[in-house]
Amino acid sequence: MTTFDTLIKETKEIGHVAAVSGTIVLVDGLPGASCDEMIVFETGQTGLVRSLGEETVSVIVFSRDPLKVGTRVARTGKEMMLSVGDDLIGAVINALGKRYTNATGTHAAGDGKPIFTDPPGISVRRKITRQMDTGIALIDSLVPIGFGQRELIIGDRKTGKTQILLSVLETQAKAGTICIYAAIGKRKGEVKLIEAFLKERGILEHAIIVFASSFASPGEIFIAPYTAMMIAEYCNGLGRDVLLILDDLTTHARYYRELSLLSKQFPGRDSYPGDIFHIHAKLLERAGNFLCGKGEAAITALPVAETIGSDMTGYIQTNLMSMTDGHIFCDSDLFFRGIRPAVNPFLSVTRVGRQTQTPLGRDISGSVVKMLSGYEKALGFVRFGADVSEELKKTLATGEALWQVFSQGTGDIIPKPLQYGLIARAYSGQWEKTTKETMIKAYHTKADVRKKIETAVGESKTLEELIGKTKVKS
């Protein structure tokens, strides 16, 4: 590894810490420094040049250990880079590349792949045409996600956002997709639970966890999503589809605000700096569906945003909604009613996901949303004691059956053909309390039943046609 004295000889510049403000330091004596360049302190700590002044440079320090004024500083002459390789798969690493699960992993400055890069141009991008199965019936049917899409997961704390993400991760890991989970500013206990879930399901060998602890320095938390995106780009370059989960970007924005205020950057709305939109946009623009060799490979990004009181009009929340291809809203009211997952299909949006659906999928999506809307209105009539007609009874029964279809716990994965089969049965008027469990068990244990459902789904172009093919003859 290059020593501190060797770096001084190579760059012929030696700086000194002129001022310290938390994890932001001002360094003088580095006239050749550039933004995003890695620098090294004589104490062994590392930092990242954030901005350039007339006499000093502002540096983010990747450590909470205090620095003293006068500490010597050396440039590396290189932008921030981390070493990557196939050995990262199955590992838990921090934002600097150091492994938690294997102490031999180290941070490699100046060797590997840069964490800050420009988004790929339009010439290497391809139209999103493949649907990404999540294993969650409500999302696959009503808010479909395509490979290469950027879909925001938004909602209050404790409304099931992590459970949705873990179900999606499990479905895609079992399908061979490389899954990267960026835990930004999380507690160690929370990440341990995620790692335990992946081990229990036998999918850790298809996943990478990038963990920036809430006890880490704000600088390390700031670069965590960029490190995760860099690893995703490396895997994507190998021709692999990648699922990238960024949990969560509202926490990331708060830590970036802290760094900006310590740097005495002029505050804007809610004290966030003026470049907060750019910080997230340049990250998410690196996701997409890309040309890779003679085929395609996608980076599908699922950023997470936390709301307060189900208010989606917050500054960071609306920023993220404007730069993504839709959002899935986890409704606290549905959560407290016991509905899992607590996804509100009326307030959730997918802007490119529908173009990946089959004609059957699009017909099911439109029909189910219309039915659920009618079901909510019918519940209002019943509460006021209105007379219940036969048509209203049918709407109530079908709506109740659909919500039973969409009710899933963490890790309860339902294949898409079975999802469509269950929805068709809910419409058929033959739904009973045990129908869902019976059909799921038969699908997984009886090859003839599975073949019949998959054939019916494959041959049908409308929901009405599928109902006719799957209806049990009396």
Cis status, amide bond into 133, omega within 30 of 0? no
Q: Quick check: 330 and 160 in contact, CB under 8 A?
A: yes
Q: For residues 13 and 11, what is the distance between their CA atoms, to the nearest angstrom?
A: 5
Q: CA angle 354-360-361, nearest 5°?
A: 35
Show Cβ contacts of residue 35 under 8 Å, excluding neighbours closer than 6 positions: 49, 50, 51, 52
| R_g (Cα) of the chain, nearest Å | 25
3-state secondary structure 141-170: HHCCEECCCECEEEECCCCCHHHHHHHHHH
Strands 81-82 vs 72-79: parallel, antiparallel or unpaired = unpaired
The total of other beta-carbon atoms located within 10 Å of residue 79's CB is 18
3-state secondary structure of 315: helix
Cis status, amide bond into 119, omega within 30 of 0? no
Mark 221-257 as b/e (b = at least 16 C-beta within 10 Å). Answer: bbbbbbbbbbbbbbbbeeebbbbbbbbbbbbbbbbbb
The DSSP string of 182-235 is: EEEEE-HHHHHHHHHHHHHTT-GGGEEEEEEETTS-HHHHHHHHHHHHHHHHHH
- Asked if 351 is an active-site residue, the reply is yes
Q: Quick check: 42 and 4 in contact, CB under 8 A?
A: yes
CA neighbor of 249 nearest in space, from 210, 306, 180:
306
- Write the Ramachandran bin of 347: left for phi over 0, alpha for psi from -120 to 50, otherwise beta: alpha
Q: Which of 254, 351, 362, 450 is catalytic?
A: 351
Q: Quick check: 304 and 161 in contact, CB under 8 A?
A: yes
Residue showing tokens 């269950």: 422
Q: Which two tokens stand for residue 423?
A: 């929805």
- Active-site residues, by number, are 351
